[in-house]
Amino acid sequence: MTAEDRTTAEHSTEGSYVHKGKPFDRDMTYIDDRITRDGRDGWPVEEGRYRLIAARACPWANRTLISRRLLGLEDAISVGMPGPTHDRRSWTFDLDEDGVDPVLGYERLQQAYFARFPDYPRGITVPAVVDIPSKAVVTNDFQQITLDFATEWTALHRDGAPDLYPEGQREEIDALNRWMLHRVNNGVYKVGFAGSQEDYEREYRELWAALDELEERLGDRRYLMGPSITEADVRLFPTLIRFDPVYFGHFKANRQPLATMPNLWNYTKDLFQTPGFGDTVDLTQIKTHYYFVHEDINPTQVVPLGPDMSHLLEAHDRDRLTTNTWGDGGTAPAAPPAAEVVDPAHTPLSVTGR
């Protein structure tokens, strides 16, 4: 087997995601180098040196796009966006002119991985941060990337950037994020890629028990940690925004639509209407990715037209709760750069700031 063929199905490469008789088990081994102020891993924070590769279709990548927007790192960290579909080798830059990333000169994200690890044996995943001078991948550790954006890149944050990872709440945020990762963020995949009826039913119940807990948690607080947005909200929103269009039907997580759960749904609408969240969402790319790439569970690759998601812009009731959205001294981010604006045809309506 050649290096080009080495992939793992649970990563972002086309192939077999469902294994009959087996539960879904995500490979959580990532390139764990970090970009830090002191450069202790050999990668110092440096404006303009790194390129974030983040497909809009991917929920793990969506987190990094949100964090980058909220913190105002657009000028410090450039972004490359692969298209919503890929083959078994890699995400590709098919949205760019001539199918080539204009900064890296690559057709495939795989090339950045192989530039550093010629025999890289795992999935070619997004998000990934690439060192522009060497054109080699630095890290694809999606859980650490956003934490480092919040804590290591502070010198390059915009004026008024929120503190997404406040020191006094870090222990609780970390615990909640670990729980959400296994029960919700990855929980939907455990349901959708279950290889047996027994596995499916167990994971289905686990997922819905977790969503019921979140519904209760959001009954007395505007955001997951209280009156202000934190890293926890950045991690939950990408799963919730994909739930009704994808996970409900495609992954058979169909106890009820999220839109029937008042706290979770109004929370989702609230964040969707918040600058930095909804303006990173491309619902067309999201649906195209899941329904086209997961041939195991959708062999026809037919992408559904529905559901109608225009109600994301309807009024929500979250402002009845104590609110300090951006934290003390924080402000909303400016509009996204023109080159990063989502095609209005790919969202329910134009997302406007407040």
Q: Catalytic amino acids?
A: 58, 189
Check: CB of residue 10 under 8 Å from CB of residue 19.
no
Cα angle at 108 between 11 and 18, to 5 degrees? 20
Bridge partners for 79 per DSSP: 52
Residue type, 213: E
Bridge partners for 137 per DSSP: 130
Rounded (10°) CA dihedral 261, 264, 267, 269: -50
Of 165, 137, 140, 138, which Cα lies nearest the Cα of 150? Answer: 165
Q: What are phi and psi of 130, to 5 degrees?
A: -115, 135
- Alpha-helical (H) ranges within 6-104 are 59-71
- Tokens 């913190």 -> residue: 71
Distance CA 229, CA 222 (A): 9
Token pair recorded at residue 224: 């997951």
Distance CA 277, CA 273 (A): 7
Residue ranges with strand state E in the chain: 50-53, 78-80, 128-131, 136-139
Distances (CA, A) of 68 to 9, 36, 303, 337, 351: 28, 16, 30, 12, 18
Distance CA 237, CA 159 (A): 24
Of 241, 216, 225, which Cα lies nearest the Cα of 170? Answer: 225
- Alpha-helical (H) ranges within 19-141 are 59-71, 110-116
